[in-house]
Amino acid sequence: MNYQEQLKELKKSDMRDDVEVKFVPGKHEDGWLSDDTRTELQNMFAHNPMFQNMDHKQDKPAKAPKISIQAFRDGMGAKHKNVAKHELIIDNTILNGSVTCRTYVREDLKDQVLPAMIYVHGGAFYGGSMMAVDDIARAFADFGPYRVFNLEYSLAPEHPFPTALLECYNNLKYLHDHATMLKLDPNKFYMSGDSAGGNLTATTAYLDHVIFKTNFLTRIVLYYPDVTEVRDQKKELADTSSYTFKEMGKELTAMADFFSSDELAGNLYRNGHAPEEHLISILNADHLEEMPPTEVIVGEFDPLRGQGEAFNKKLRDSNVETHYIRYNGMSHAFLDSLGYYPQAEDSIEEAVKFLNK
């Protein structure tokens, strides 16, 4: 199947209780990798400095190689394409006097009042950039349609917790306070992020709804969010014993173990703060019943799948409106491959559907 045929096939889904499962196009059961994911993982195991020394034959994963933070940063990201179908106006600006931001709006809607979307990139708190998610932001601006604000927040270890979180919240507040000037609908403020960006999105919403009770955010979407830095919890939620593997089971299990045992990102970000801190490990936070409606999107073989499932369940049990989607055959950071992985484009369409309710 070509890209468009696969995209059409992804409109189908299998509902299992509170989980919407989207199969690999052409497959009708769990456990299969998509062709693109299989190739990506094989290449990652062979060439990415974070994973190339991972020993698949041992019960315990090998430790991360000792390389520089910049080398880790350079190894992040994936090829992506612009899937927006309308002409966009894109500008670089400084928000609130301190944070670099790239803004997006459809040219034909530039004078209209639109919902606001703040996008927060991933990268383990110490990597990533607004340019790495540029095409993701373009898609949200086009599909929403929204005025999108793609944040270039400060990275650890140079700027550890709570710098990035406070930047996200302060910029949310700035945008809401200036909604009229910026042609934003103050009743439709959305936020989304992937991986570490999912953490920052959820914790910003927690500041907004639980701590400060400003209630700026209407809805949020979390892509494979990192919701705990507690070691035992990470290990428990990375357990793949209940998963179905039709191929590469040992490798995928080892990768999940590797993610759960690697503490580099957490240590750099926390900078001495306890991993149990609620604004770091939001899975353990109190008063989650006050959170805004939340959609969680994960991949079947994502090492953070268990964390996403656990957070979605905790929100649902707290009577928060939730929607949970699992893309079969996908691993971590599949959204980065927008334009190459049809699941990435479909997931943005699903996010827009949830946000626009």
Q: With CA atoms as reference, report the closest residue to 29 among 328, 330, 346, 334.
A: 328
Report the alpha-carbon distance of residue 283 to residue 233 in Å, rounded. Answer: 10
Mean pLDDT of 1-6: 96
Q: If you write DSSP's letter for every residue of 167-216 in order, what string do you get?
A: HHHHHHHHHHHTTTTTTEEEEEEEEEEETHHHHHHHHHHHIIIIIS----
What's the pLDDT tens digit per position in 288-329? 999 999 999 999 999 999 999 999 999 999 999 999 999 999
Q: Is the pLDDT of residue 219 over 70?
A: yes
Report the alpha-carbon distance of residue 139 to residue 150 in Å, rounded. Answer: 12
Share of the chain above pLDDT 70, in %: 94
Q: Which residues touch 54 (CB under 8 Å, ≥6 apart)?
A: 45, 61, 62, 254, 255, 258
Q: Is the pLDDT of residue 140 over 80?
A: yes
What's the pLDDT tens digit per position in 338-351? 999 999 999 999 99
**CA 41, chain centre distance (Å):** 19
Q: Is the pLDDT of residue 97 over 70?
A: yes
Mean pLDDT of 236-240: 96
Residue 70: count of CB within 10 angstroms of its CB: 10
Q: How confident is the model at residue 144 (pLDDT cuts 50, 70, 90)?
A: very high
pLDDT given for residue 35 in this prediction: 94
What's the pLDDT tens digit per position in 46-83? 876 566 555 544 444 444 446 678 777 867 778 899 99
Tokens of 9: 């096939």
Report the alpha-carbon distance of residue 349 to residue 355 in Å, rounded. Answer: 10
Mean pLDDT of 103-117: 98
DSSP letter at 33 equals P
C-alpha distance from residue 98 to each of 36, 152, 171 (Å): 39, 10, 9
pLDDT given for residue 61 in this prediction: 43
Helices (runs of H) and strands (runs of E) counted in the chain: 11, 10
DSSP letter at 289 equals G
DSSP letter at 155 equals P
CA dihedral 197, 335, 227, 257 (to 10 degrees): -130
Mean pLDDT of 92-96: 94
Report the alpha-carbon distance of residue 143 to residue 344 in Å, rounded. Answer: 13
What's the pLDDT tens digit per position in 248-268? 999 999 999 988 988 888 899
pLDDT given for residue 60 in this prediction: 46
Q: With CA atoms as reference, report the closest residue to 237 among 327, 291, 298.
A: 298
Whole-model pTM: value is: 0.94
What's the pLDDT tens digit per position in 32-46? 999 999 998 998 888
Q: Give the bridge partners for 15, in sequence order.
A: 20
**What mean pLDDT, rounded, does the chain reach?**
93
Q: Is the pLDDT of residue 204 over 50?
A: yes
Query: If you count them, how many residues does the chain have?
Result: 357
pLDDT given for residue 12 in this prediction: 94
Using alpha carbons only, what angle is made at residue 102 by residues 96 and 108, rounded to the nearest 5 degrees?
A: 115
Contact status, residue 88 vs residue 150, Cβ threshold 8 Å: no
Q: Which residues touch 293 (CB under 8 Å, ≥6 apart)?
A: 218, 219, 220, 320, 321, 322, 354, 357
Report the alpha-carbon distance of residue 252 to residue 248 in Å, rounded. Answer: 6
Q: How confident is the model at residue 247 (pLDDT cuts 50, 70, 90)?
A: very high
pLDDT given for residue 56 in this prediction: 45
